Structures are given as structure tokens and as C-alpha cells.
């Protein structure tokens, strides 16, 4: 375990949330593990009216800026790989756009989000490189989620199937 991870205290609610309930501590592909771990939370969110779901996502973005900043500060590393709250929120944004609740669409949303989150094409890359602190940790995944949602929406609602 690296020195930054040793500074985490899972009893600290900010650390617990920032690491995606510990999913970000997975040794290989913590961002992917965090994106997978976001799915059960998303299932719960789908039982809410869409207006409440949207408010939860907006609140999660706002609180995420603080908790990611604080956890990165406590770890002594900006945007450490184990901080995956941003992946949670990006997945929730992406999955808002699926046309039907099925494992195939959830998988499609997951794949599209991971592609944009890892590849970081413009404008995602610009935000990733130029915005710092908690906002910098969150914003690239929020934008990746919005772009992924747009792709999923277009495929799900306008693709000639």
C-alpha cells in the first residue's frame, strides 16, 4: 500500500465517500472499480422521481468538490487514483440517459463513460489539466458523464434500430 493510502481513515465519512465506500482501494483499475460500485447506488436512485434524482446528482457534485478536495489534502496527493467519488457521479449522470433499465444499456453506459473518462478527449482533457483542487477532481468526470449521456441518449433514442 502506498504512503498516501495509509493516510486514509475509512471511519472518516469524507474518506469513505471519496473512495466510493472503499471501491477506490481496489489495486487494479480503481476508477473502473468505482464506476462498477456506482451501479448499485444508481439502482436505488432510479426509484426516485427524476427531479429528485437530478437534485441528488447536483448535491453529489457539490459535496464531491469538498470531500474530494479534503481527502486529496489528507492524502497529500492531488486526485489520487483511490478517490473515485467523481466516477460515481459521472456514472450516475451517464445512466440518466439510458432509454430502458436493462443490463445491456447499463453496460453500454459503463463502457462509454469509461472510454471518455480514460481517453479524456477535448474538452474533458482541458478541464482535467487546468482546474485544480476538489473542483478539478470532479469536473472532468462530470463532463465525461454529460458527454457519455449525450452519446447514450442519441444511440438509444435516435439510432435506427
- Of the candidates 96, 88, 77, the one whose C-alpha atom is nearest the C-alpha of residue 18 is 88
pTM tops 0.85, yes or no: yes
The DSSP string of the chain is: --HHHHT--TTSHHHHHHTTTTGGG-SS-HHHHHHHHHHHHHHHHTTS-HHHHHHHHHHHHHHHHHHHHHHHHHHTSTT-TT--HHHHHHHHHHHTT-SS--HHHHHHHHHHHHHHHHH--TTHHHHHHH--HHHHHHHHHHHHHHHHHHHHHHHHHHS--
Could you give the count of Cα atoms lying within 13 Å of 65 in the half-sphere of its Cβ? 11
The pLDDT tens digits for 119-151 are: 999 999 999 999 999 999 999 999 999 999 999
Q: What is the pLDDT of residues 13-45, one digit of tens each?
A: 999 999 999 999 999 999 999 999 999 999 999
Say which residue the cell 492531488 belongs to: 78
Reference 71, options 139, 131, 24, 116; nearest CA is 24
Q: Can you tell me the distance from the alpha carbon of 73 to that of 78, in angstroms, rounded to the nearest whole number?
A: 7
pLDDT at 160: 67
How do the domains of the chain map onto residue ranges?
A: 19-158
pLDDT of residue 97: 96
Amino acid at each position: 500500500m502506498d504512503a498516501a493510502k495509509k493516510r486514509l481513515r475509512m471511519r472518516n465519512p469524507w474518506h469513505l465517500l471519496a473512495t466510493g465506500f472503499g471501491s477506490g482501494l481496489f489495486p487494479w483499475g480503481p476508477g473502473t472499480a468505482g464506476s462498477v460500485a456506482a451501479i448499485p447506488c444508481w439502482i436505488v436512485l432510479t426509484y426516485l422521481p427524476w427531479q429528485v434524482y437530478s437534485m441528488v446528482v447536483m448535491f453529489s457534485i457539490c459535496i464531491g468538490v469538498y470531500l474530494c478536495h479534503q481527502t486529496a489534502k489528507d492524502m497529500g496527493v492531488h486526485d489520487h487514483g483511490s478517490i473515485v467519488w467523481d466516477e460515481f457521479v459521472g456514472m450516475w449522470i451517464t445512466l440518466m440517459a439510458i432509454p430502458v433499465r436493462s443490463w445491456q444499456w447499463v453496460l453500454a453506459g459503463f463502457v462509454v463513460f469509461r472510454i471518455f473518462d480514460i481517453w479524456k478527449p477535448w474538452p474533458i482533457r482541458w478541464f482535467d489539466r487546468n482546474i485544480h483542487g476538489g473542483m478539478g477532481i470532479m469536473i472532468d468526470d462530470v463532463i465525461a458523464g454529460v458527454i457519455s449521456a449525450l452519446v447514450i441518449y442519441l444511440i438509444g433514442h435516435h439510432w435506427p434500430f
